[in-house]
Each structure stands twice: as C-alpha cells, then as structure tokens.
Amino acid sequence: MKTIKIKDSNKEIQIGKVVCVGRNYADHAKEMGNEVPDKFPIVFMKTATCMINSGENVVHPSYSENLHHEIELVLLIGATVKNANSKEAENAIVSYAVGLDMTLRDLQFKSKEKGEPWTFAKIFDTSGVLSEFVSADEYKLTGEEKIYLSVNNEIKQEATVGLMLFNPIEIIKNISSRMTLEEGDLIFTGTPAGVGRVVKGDKLSGGIENIGKVETTIA
C-alpha cells in the first residue's frame, strides 16, 4: 500500500514518511515500565512499505515471539510545515484515520537494553494497518472520541483520544521543529494502555468513534 484515499474524495495521496509518537498516554508509559514524560515524548519511524489496509492480514515474522498490538489515531499531513505554530499545525492536518502500530516487543526490549535503535521492532512488512481516512473538513476532533481494540472479541484497549499527553497540534509543532513534514506524511500519535501479545489466527478489531474501524487477522 503506497497511496491513501480520503473517504468521499477522489484525491489519492502518496504515503511519505511515517512518524510515530511513543509514550503519549500516561497509562501506557506506566505499563511499559517507563516514567510519564513531562516533555515531548519519543519519536520513531515506520515506512510506507509497512502499511496495509484494514481487512488485510498482518504476517507474523518468524524471528519474533512477542508481537503486540497498539491502536492509535493517525494524522495525514497535507502541507509542507517546518517549525509550525499552532495555526499552521492545525491546518496541516487534512485527514484522520485509525491505525495499528504492530510491534515486536521482544526485539524492542532487546534493543532498549543494549541502547540501540528499535527500528527492526517496528518496520516489518504489514506492521501498519490503516482504516479509511476521514477528511478533517468533514470531522472535527473533540477529544471525547473512544479509542478501542479487541482481540477475538475481547476488549483489550479502551480510552479516549483526549487522554493523549500531547494533542495532534502539539505533536506537529514538536515534530516539525526537528524535521520538515510534507503532504502524504503520516503521524501515529501513540497508544493507550492495554497492549498485549497476539498469535497466529487472532482476529483484531479496533477503531475510533466517528473516525473509522480497523480489522486484521494475524497470519
């Protein structure tokens, strides 16, 4: 998957870089044994080649024993922004989606222990699952939206988007102070508590109220 279609629009947008925010919900930072950040949390990257559409399978890599689900709000950037102020950051968001940031937790922990980057924990093929995209002109985010994920019909993650430590505007201001963001770039905004292991055959179903739904099976 290399291009995105926004619901009710003919425009097709090529996926650029994919920037992900870590530890953006206090309860998730705690469950991972991390302190709740008081300044902008960590950022890491995925790639366009990771991305699949809702309904396609996540292929479990053979070199990991601990594949985790992370349900997240995803922002689509529609303009070039660098050192964005609040208004520019807000205008840069053209669309919202729901995403799964699938993570190889064992590889991530090993890398953390050694003080090495966790790239390989995050960029395997099919490690990003995307719902439909909803235009930001059509829907204004309130923060009240429920974000949830169930595995085999059992609810695992449940929160509201407003529990993010840094909201979408603050996220774009922070990221664009370090790198230029462009049309087609995606931002995964972090996951709430309740992440956990999934195995082959598991069926994942999640979403964000008024934004969309994402479904996948682990293959």
The site for Zn ion (CB under 5 A) is made up of 70, 101, 191
Q: Quick one: tokens of 27? A: 């309860």
Residue of 204, 187, 174 lying closest to 96 (CA atoms): 187
Per-residue DSSP letter, 163: G
Nearer to Zn ion, 18 or 134 (CB): 18
Nearer to Zn ion, 23 or 60 (CB): 23
Query: Residue 204 Cβ, how far from Zn ion at the closest point, in Å?
Result: 14
Query: Residue 154 Cβ, how far from Zn ion at the closest point, in Å?
Result: 21
Confirm if 186 and 19 have CB atoms less than 8 A apart: yes
Residues paired with 4 in a beta bridge:
13
Nearer to Zn ion, 13 or 21 (CB): 21
Residue of 43, 50, 38, 51 lying closest to 5 (CA atoms): 51
Q: Which residue in the shown chain puts its C-beta closest to Zn ion?
A: 101
Query: Residue 77 Cβ, how far from Zn ion at the closest point, in Å?
Result: 18
Rounded to whole angstroms, how far apart are CA atoms 42 and 23?
7
Nearer to Zn ion, 101 or 145 (CB): 101
The residue behind tokens 């290399």 is 2
Per-residue DSSP letter, 36: P
Residue of 124, 135, 144 lying closest to 58 (CA atoms): 124
Nearer to Zn ion, 70 or 185 (CB): 70
The size of the chain, in residues, is: 219
Strand, helix or coil for residue 105: helix
Query: Residue 29 Cβ, how far from Zn ion at the closest point, in Å?
Result: 12
Rounded to whole angstroms, how far apart are CA atoms 161 and 159?
7
Nearer to Zn ion, 100 or 169 (CB): 100
Query: Residue 5 Cβ, how far from Zn ion at the closest point, in Å?
Result: 23
Query: Residue 103 Cβ, how far from Zn ion at the closest point, in Å?
Result: 6
